[in-house]
Amino acid sequence: ELGLYSHFMQKEIHEQPQAVAATAEVFLDGGFVPENFGSNAREVFQSINSIKILACGTSYYAALTAKYWLESIAKIPTDVEIASEYRYRDVIADPQQLVITISQSGETLDTMEALKYAQSLGHCHSLSVCNVMESALPRASSLVLYTRAGAEIGVASTKAFTTQLVVLFGLAVTLGKLRGHIDAEREHAHTEALRQLPGSIQHALNLEPQVAAWAQKFAQKSSALFLGRGIHYPIALEGALKLKEITYIHAEAYPAGELKHGPLALVDENMPIVVIAPNDALLDKVKANMQEVGARGGELFVFTDLDSHFEAAQGVHLIRTPRHTGALSPIIHSIPVQLLAYHAALARGTDVDKPRNLAKSVTVE
Ligand code: F6R
């Protein structure tokens, strides 16, 4: 079943061009139409005033990324919450809010209970983004769109995450179009971006030898910091989670602008710092944040795309990711952080597919 691969995680990382292409097909063949999400989705999408996304772990980071798309492309106020927190607090119900749950397994207990709680409060519109057909969450939701990642066996989620992002991007474009925020030209640009995505992911996968060389250094460390800004901040969070889960190295992620409000105190020459820094509107801000770190002796490992005018320097290592892919850039930058964690785990000899203390599907509280 593993074929040429050593681990399911490695296989699943490399399956992402096909998994993403299969998931994107819904929008590429059928267009950005509400019916992709269910026969009554048009009516629901026209009536909602806001979105709440509930999820856990990596699926929660997909939700954080989606918030940027839903607000910038679809112009719908979107709020994201960890399911295990939502289910235990006093929530102000809003029947015009669409509640989205995101789950690879569709069986995560906290996410399921959060959905039931929302429904008990009178939230009637629910959408499930899920990878397992007919699992608990899609069965309990009025609308559903499945990711087509195929079975994910490695405990650390990889292809489920990037395919969730494809569905959520498609949702944002669908809502933006339906609600009159996207003209034909923009829609065409989004379609083309989605069409080219699998190829760009393949280019990112080709960086594996360079990323593996970095990973040897990380394997020696006891701690690492991940930085990003804007839509790349959730990818920094995901990178830190992947590293923690499979290497047991302590890792934290921060929006780079928060450094001086505390975490800068952690930085010295023993602290590797991963920066997700593609050429977007925030690049100059990120560069300034990097100088703050560099001045304290921190070693910087920067993922930046071909368009950014960055130079490697003393204490600054660069890997160039494929040419900037606009709104889909977070999907591309998921790949190198997955590879970094995978190769650091290999170097440390941990059980990559079955990290200690973790289960693939968390059906207990
Ligand atoms: C991380 C990971 C977990 C899951 C989380 C939610 O690599 O796999 O954080 O993302 O347990 O699981 P699902 O998506 O099945 O609800």
Annotation marks residue 11 as catalytic = no
- Residue 280's pLDDT is 85
Find the 153 Cα to ligand 1 centroid distance in Å: 12
Residue predicted with more confidence, 191 or 279: 191
Q: Is the pLDDT of residue 3 over 80?
A: yes
* Residue 55 CA, closest ligand 1 atom number: 16
Q: Across residues 212-238, what is the average pLDDT?
A: 97
- Residue 181's pLDDT is 97
Q: Half-sphere exposure (CA, 13 Å, Cβ side) for 111?
A: 35
- Tokens, residue 322: 């494929």
Q: Is the pLDDT of residue 325 over 80?
A: no
- Residue 283's pLDDT is 86
Closest-CA residue, ligand 1 atom 9, reads: 57
- Label residue 314 exposed, middle or buried (CB < 10 Å: 0-12, 13-18, 19+): exposed
Q: Are 143 and 38 in contact (CB under 8 A)?
A: yes
Pick from 108-122, 146-160, 213-227, 290-304: least confident: 290-304
Find the 144 Cα to ligand 1 centroid distance in Å: 18
Please choose from 9, 56, 102, 110 the residue to mutate so as to test ligand 1's pocket, defined by most ligand atoms within 8 A of CB. Answer: 56
Q: Is the pLDDT of residue 324 over 80?
A: no
Q: Across residues 234-245, what is the average pLDDT?
A: 98
Please choose from 12, 53, 86, 108 the residue to mutate so as to test ligand 1's pocket, defined by most ligand atoms within 8 A of CB. Answer: 108
Catalytic residue among 75, 221, 287, 360: 360
Closest-CA residue, ligand 1 atom 7, reads: 156
- Tokens, residue 61: 């980071």
Closest-CA residue, ligand 1 atom 5, reads: 57
pLDDT (tens digit per residue) in 115-138: 999 999 998 899 999 999 999 999
* Residue 158 CA, closest ligand 1 atom number: 7
Which amino acid does the sequence have at 164? Q
- Residue 123's pLDDT is 86
Dist. CA 345–CA 349, nearest whole Å: 6
Instruction: With cut-offs at 50, 70 and 90, classify the pLDDT of residue 279.
Output: confident
Residue-averaged pLDDT of the chain: 95
Residues 6 or more apart in contact with residue 330 via CB below 8 angstroms: 65, 165, 231, 232, 234, 235
DSSP string, 1-52: --TT-SSHHHHHHHTHHHHHHHHHHHHHHH-S-GGGG-TTHHHHHHH--EEE
Q: Is the pLDDT of residue 33 over 80?
A: yes
Q: Provide residues with CB under 6 Å of ligand 1.
A: 56-59, 103-105, 108, 111, 156-157, 241, 245, 361-362
* Residue 58 CA, closest ligand 1 atom number: 10
- Residue 336's pLDDT is 98
Residues 6 or more apart in contact with residue 263 via CB below 8 angstroms: 225, 252, 254
- Residue 290's pLDDT is 85
Q: Is the pLDDT of residue 281 over 90?
A: no
- Residue 156's pLDDT is 95
pLDDT (tens digit per residue) in 160-171: 999 999 999 999
Question: 32-37 long-range CB contacts below 8 Å, 24 or more apart?
Answer: 32/170, 32/173, 32/174, 32/177, 32/187, 32/190, 32/191, 33/174, 34/174, 34/178, 36/145, 36/170, 36/174, 37/127, 37/143, 37/144, 37/145, 37/171, 37/174
Q: Is the pLDDT of residue 287 over 90?
A: no
Q: Which H or E run contains 189?
A: helix 184-205
Find the 245 Cα to ligand 1 centroid distance in Å: 11
- Residue 308's pLDDT is 81
Q: Across residues 331-352, what is the average pLDDT?
A: 97
